[in-house]
A and B are shown apart, each in its own frame.
Chain A
Amino acid sequence: MSESTTSSTEGARLHAREQVHNRVETMPIIPASAAFDWPSGVSDNQKLWAETVEGGNYTTLFVKRGAIIELTDVYGDACAHLALYNATQTDERLNVADTVKVQWQAYLGPGQLLLSDRGRALASILLDTSGKHDTFAGMSHKEQNEAKYGDGDAFGPSPAGRELMILAAAKAGLEPRDIPPTVSLFKGFYVQPNGGLVSTGSAGAYASVWLRAEMPIILLIANAAHPLDIRNEYVCTPLKIRIWEPSPESHQNFPAVPFDVEAERALANTRSYLALKGI
């Protein structure tokens, strides 16, 4: 009878170290330049972060000003719930009401900003090949998923968006009370004249959204089934993330989006705030 390979500390260490080359689809790739599937024209020295988040999981990202964040719905059933914060003062955070009210538009798309509660831009939307997003219904909560799928725990088979977001926030030193209303990408809804919310579904596999961080931000992403997903089973597929720093020479490769007058004022407020603060 052979002895277990992990019966000694020496053996256990060897056993642990042998696992490091395992690969799964949903994981970070470090360094980012080792990851595949970047937009053309992004050189290795611009690549900052590469990660794929599985359905029913989350990530916490600290992103420098000016970085471009590409989120891709790889199989057509990701749902990326986003919460954003000013990384230098986290009580400034995404304000969904101001985002839709100030810009006179409830449906997210290129040229729109994700606004904070301080009249400033946390991020701008540069590109959107999906067009299926939601600013109204937020994330599911634990009891809701328990009733719908039989379980809502973060570590269970059908995690509620809010449970995942609580963990994502904790990794940035933030508490549940710091989680504001969120926006979600890749599952669309429109509002009927009577106020009713109607699903427009998904844009399908490989739809992408490009965001630009307009100040140093904390970006929390929970990839969890939309609270109004009509299916009886929990469906949520991987979300691919690529983040890079645009180089001045490659600026012509990035889309130029027209900003509305309110958005221009928010960007001006943001530049002025950052300059005064020395960022």
Chain B
Amino acid sequence: MAKTTPNVPVAIASQKIVSDEVAASRGPWSGIVRAGQFLTIVDLEGNQAVDCIIYDAHDTAIRYSAPTTIAHQRNVFLTHGSVLLANTGVPLMKIVESDVERHDTVGGACSKESNSLRYGLHTVHQHACVENFLLEGAKYGLGKRDLVSNINFYMNVPVESNGMLGIVDGISAPGLSLTLQAERDVIVLVSNCPQINNPCNGFNPTEVRMIITEN
């Protein structure tokens, strides 16, 4: 994870930079974001799915819950103003800025195993988000039991009136960003999605920039 150039999104231009890293294409990333601090994710080359799970840094049994978040806002899409809730109902982070209209939290993370169902057994040995989560999560003592529902920033998953849903072409673009503010101290676990069998990364996984800032 290399240090990046100094130009940052306008939303955080006046803030103090705590860390500024690039998540390698196809790789994992993690960071601890303290209560009140901000995490900005820059989609450097456009339409790069950023799979993300959030844990309470002091009790990892308290973790992001897609159903709790969806039920609270009565909407399946994450957008500007969405509060990301834990399984216990407590707020973990809030989306305070988003250049992209909406993000997904229904489609989950790709895995070698689910790839075998979606695309065939020939994809089983391709790298996948669950592998990234397991590798990076192990640094915090997190394992398979801890991989729950996740967020897919910059991923587009419409639900049709007949219930059909799927990952379709993205609505992001190079340089667009979003900013989250931590409501408590959190561990943010990220897989910079390596999927090449559907359009979630424009069939070309690329780097994303992860900037932690504070006022």
Contact = CB atoms under 8 A, between A and B. Distances in A.
Interface string A89-100: 001000111101
- Of B75, B113, B144, most A-chain CB atoms within 10 Å: B113
Given A138-B65, A181-B66, A195-B77, A118 B163 contact: no
Contact of A102 (B65, B112, B118, B150): B118
Contact of B67 (A101, A136, A142, A175): A136
- Secondary structure class of chain A's binding surface, majority of residues: loop
A117 interface: yes
A101 B66 contact: no
B204 interface: no
B88 interface: yes
Nearest to B146: A177
Contacts of B65: 138, 181
A193 B150 CA distance: 22
Given A97-B66, A105-B165, A175-B61, A91 B145 contact: yes
B159 A106 contact: yes
Nearest to B88: A141
Contacts of A204: none
Interface residues of B, number: 49
Nearest to A98: B114
B196 interface: no
Interface string B121-150: 000000000100000000000011111111
Interface of A: 91, 95-98, 100-102, 104-107, 115, 117-120, 136-144, 162, 175-182, 190-191, 193-197, 227-228, 262, 265-266, 269
24 contacts: A97-B109, A98-B117, A100-B107, A100-B165, A101-B165, A102-B114, A106-B159, A106-B165, A119-B117, A120-B113, A136-B71, A138-B66, A138-B71, A141-B87, A142-B88, A144-B89, A180-B149, A181-B65, A181-B66, A181-B149, A190-B161, A193-B158, A197-B70, A262-B118
